[in-house]
Amino acid sequence: MAAITDEKYVALTTFKKDGTAKTLPVWIADFGGGQVGFTTSSSSYKVKRIANDPRVTLQPSDHKGNVKDGSEAVTGTAEVRTGPEFEPYKAVVKKKYGFQYTAMGLVGKFMSLIGKGSGTDSAVVITLD
């Protein structure tokens, strides 16, 4: 697990209702107890896909989601945490990403003001297999 959480970005693969895989880059943090994850908007498609199918795959990548040569994928089961349960996970991700997290939070707040999302209000917690 240490190797995947040492990464800045990972390619997250989630699955649509029809089983089609969708992959995109996300930040990754170690939540302890065999759990890793990231924060996102509760209105994001990845959250909606996880609600339908909690299986996920993570693989080290660059900021565009291009998988790193020679890296291996890990699998797990994802859960979404919101409300008061979200705060401890937010603190862990914010500690790892610092100013970047703050900047992205401001972008998210702006987007929610113009009706384009709900800002960062949920954590995706992944228990690795």
What pLDDT, on a 0 to 100 scale, did the predictor assign at position 70?
92
Sequential DSSP letters for the chain: -HHHHT-SEEEEEEE-TTS-EEEEEEE-EEEETTEEEEEE-TTSHHHHHHHH--EEEEEEB-TT-PBPTT---EEEEEEEEEGGGHHHHHHHHHHHHTHHHHHHHHHHHHHHHTTS---S-EEEEEEE-
What pLDDT, on a 0 to 100 scale, did the predictor assign at position 118?
64
CATH of the domain at 23: 2.30.110.10
For residue range 44-56, list pLDDT tens digits in order.
Answer: 999 999 999 999 9
The whole-model pTM stands at: 0.88
The domain in which residue 77 lies consists of 2-128
For residue range 42-86, list pLDDT tens digits in order.
Answer: 889 999 999 999 999 999 999 999 999 999 999 999 999 999 999
Could you give the number of structural domains in the chain?
1
